[in-house]
């Protein structure tokens, strides 16, 4: 998989890919809902991850955990990091960990 230029780029792409597990229509619905109710555009997700996480939980309930794991796995793959599952982590913790592992780049 091609190396992204920044961790934020990788996060954005991983989110786009991870949400696709729900199908294109649902992915677009989630983006639309994020923008209309949380004022977060899709490209702003990496900098507003906590809002994204809460919105996803509101829409999917426990399913959010499954999708966030998909996103995190994809992110780690893009960054050439080994993925280890942590049952109590959200996408926010996975992203913080990835940033630290890559030296805060």
Partner 1 sequence: MEKDEILQFVKQMKPRDHVIMFHSNREDKHQVLFTYLKAGLDQGEAAAYVASEETPDEIRQAMRRFGIDVDGLERRGALRVIDYRDWYIVEGKFSATETIDRWKKLYEDAVAKRFKGLRITGETACFFDKRMVKELVEYDKALHRVLEIPMAAICVYDSGVVANERGGELYLDLIKAHSTVIIVGPEGGVVKSH
Under the binding rule (CB under 8 A), the answer on residue 58 touching partner 1 is yes
Residue 63 interacts with partner 1 (CB under 8 A): yes or no: yes
Q: Which of 46, 68, 45, 47 is nearest to 57 (CA)?
A: 68
Contact characters 64-83, partner 1, x per CB under 8 A: xxx--xx-------------
Asked if 33 touches partner 1 (CB under 8 A), the answer is: yes
Residue closer to partner 1 (CB basis): 7 or 53? 53
* Contact status: 2 vs partner 1 (CB under 8 A): no
CA pair distance 95, 87, nearest whole angstrom: 15
Q: Is 35 in the site for partner 1 (CB under 8 A)?
A: no
Report DSSP letters for 41-66, one per residue: -GGGGGGGHHHHHHHHHHHHTTHHHH
Give the separation between CA 5 and CA 98, rounded to whole angstroms.
Answer: 14
* Residue 84 near partner 1 by CB under 8 A: no
Q: Which two tokens stand for residue 1?
A: 């998989």
Is residue 56 within 8 A of residue 41, CB to CB? The reply is no
Among 25, 100, 103, 104, binds partner 1 (CB under 8 A): 25
Judged by the rule CB under 8 A, the positions of this chain that interact with partner 1 are 21-23, 25-26, 29-30, 33, 57-66, 69-70, 85
């Amino acid at each position: 998989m091609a190396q992204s230029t920044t961790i934020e780029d990788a996060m954005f792409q991983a989110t786009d890919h991870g949400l696709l597990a729900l199908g294109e229509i649902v992915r677009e619905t989630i983006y639309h809902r994020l923008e209309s109710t949380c004022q977060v555009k899709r490209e702003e997700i990496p900098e507003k991850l906590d809002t994204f996480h809460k919105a996803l939980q509101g829409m999917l309930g426990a399913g959010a955990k499954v999708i966030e794991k998909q996103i995190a796995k994809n992110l780690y793959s893009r960054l050439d990091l080994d993925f280890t599952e942590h049952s109590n982590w959200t996408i926010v913790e996975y992203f913080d960990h990835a940033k630290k592992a890559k030296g805060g780049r």
